[in-house]
Amino acid sequence: MAEDEKRVTWAELFFDLVFVFAITQVSALLHEDHSWAGVGRALIAFVPPYWAWVGMSLHANRQDVDNPVDRIGIFAVGLSALFMGLALPLAYDGRGVLYGASYWAARVVLHLLVLRWQDVRFSAFAVGACLTGPMLLAGGFLDGPARTALWGSAALIDLSMPFLLRHRLSRVRFHAGHLPERFGLFLIIALGESIVAIGAPASAAAHLDAAELTAVAAAFALAAGLWWVYFAFAASAIQHALATSDRQVDTIREVLSYAHLGFLGGVIAVAVGMHDAVAHPAARLGTGVAGLLFGGCALFLAVFGYTRWRMFRLWSTTRLAASAVVLALLPHSRRDCPRWGRWGCSRCS
C-alpha cells in the first residue's frame, strides 16, 4: 500500500467509540468543578486516556494492524480505556486505583504490541509501561494533593517523551494520510460531546420556549464554527505539512500530539460551558461557566495560530486576533457568584 493511501481500519474506529465515553466523563468531572483547580485536575485526568489513544494511533500508523493479534490488542487497550472512563468521575476519590491500574494495563499492552516489530528497549511505550503506568497506580493509593501531584508528574513525563526522544524518532517515517485522519476523528468525537451538551439540558426541559431554542441554535452555531475553523482550514494543511516535511517527527510531536491536546481541551471546555448556558438561557453566565465557554474558544483559536506557525512559519493573524477579542469579551459576559465571590461557583450558571 502506498504511504499516502493508508487508511483507518474498522478496528480503530471501534476503538474510538470508547473515547466518546471517556470524553463525556472528563466533561462531567469538569462540570462538577469550574475552578482553576478543577480545570487542572480535569486536564491531568484527561492526559492518560488521550496519551493511550495517541500511542495506539502511532502504532497503527507504523504497522498493519488489520490482523487478529493487533485487533485483540486494540480491543484490550479499548477495554482499559473504558475502565478509565468508569473511574474518571471519582478518580480523585474512591476510584483512583481503578483509574491507575487501567492506564498501566493499557500501556503494557501497547508496549507488547510494539515489541513485536521494534526491538527498542527505551521508548515512549516503554516509559509508559515501566514508569508512568506504575506512577498512576501508586497515586491511586494516595489521597488529596499527593495523588494530584504524582499523577501530574506522570502526565508531564509522558508528554515530554516525544521531545526527549526526538533525535531517535527523526529516523522514523510515518504515513502522512493516516495520522491527520486519526486526530481529526478524535476531534469529531469531542465535537460530538458538544452536541450532546447542547441537546441534553434542552431535551430535559418541561417546556421549550423561544429563549431555549435560541440558546440551542446559538450553541450549535458555535460548535459548527469550531468545526469550520479546523476542518475547512487546518485539516488539509496538517496533512500537507506532514507529507512534505523533512522533519516529519517534529510536525507529529508539536502539531498532532501537543497541539491537539489544546484543541480537544478547548472543545471540552466549550461543551461544558454550553451545557450550562443552554440550561439557563435567560441568566447571565457565572464566572466559571463564562471562563470555560470563552476561554475554550480562545484556546481553540490560539492553538490554530500556533499550528500554522509550527507548520509554515506564518502567523494566522485573523485567528489570533479573534482569540484576543474573545478573551476581551469575557469580563462583560459573566455575573459574580453569590457564594464564591468573583471567581464563581462550580454549580452556578
Quick: pLDDT tens for 272-305: 999 988 988 888 888 889 999 999 999 999 999 9
* Residue 337 dihedral angles phi and psi, to the nearest 5°: -80, 130
Q: What is the pLDDT of residue 271?
A: 94
Confidence of residue 342 (pLDDT cuts 50, 70, 90): very low
Confidence of residue 343 (pLDDT cuts 50, 70, 90): very low
278 to 25, 271, 329, 349: CA distances (angstroms): 19, 10, 19, 10
Extract the C-alpha cell encoding 323. Answer: 482569540
- Rounded to an integer, the average pLDDT of 119-127 is 80
Kindly report, residue by residue over 148-182, the tens digit of the pLDDT.
Answer: 999 999 999 999 999 988 887 777 788 888 999 99
Query: What's the N-to-C CA distance of the chain in angstroms?
Result: 52
Query: Mean pLDDT lowest for which of 111-120, 188-197, 317-326?
Result: 111-120
Q: What is the pLDDT of residue 239?
A: 92
Nearest C-alpha neighbor of 123 from the set 62, 165, 72: 165
Confidence of residue 335 (pLDDT cuts 50, 70, 90): low
Residue type at 299?
L
Query: Mean pLDDT lowest for which of 72-76, 107-111, 246-250?
Result: 246-250
Q: What is the pLDDT of residue 285?
A: 82
Share of the chain above pLDDT 70, in %: 93
What is the chain's mean pLDDT, rounded? 90
Q: How many CB atoms lie within 10 A of CB 95?
A: 18
Q: How far apart are CA 266 and CA 260, in angstroms?
A: 9
* Predicted confidence (pLDDT) at residue 191 exceeds the cutoff of 80: yes
Kindly report, residue by residue over 63-97, the tens digit of the pLDDT.
Answer: 999 999 999 999 999 999 999 999 999 999 999 99
- Rounded to an integer, the average pLDDT of 32-50 is 94
- Rounded to an integer, the average pLDDT of 247-260 is 93
- Rounded to an integer, the average pLDDT of 183-212 is 90
* Residue 285 dihedral angles phi and psi, to the nearest 5°: -70, 140
In the numeric block, the cell 521531545 is attached to 163
Q: How far apart are CA 335 and CA 349, in angstroms?
A: 9
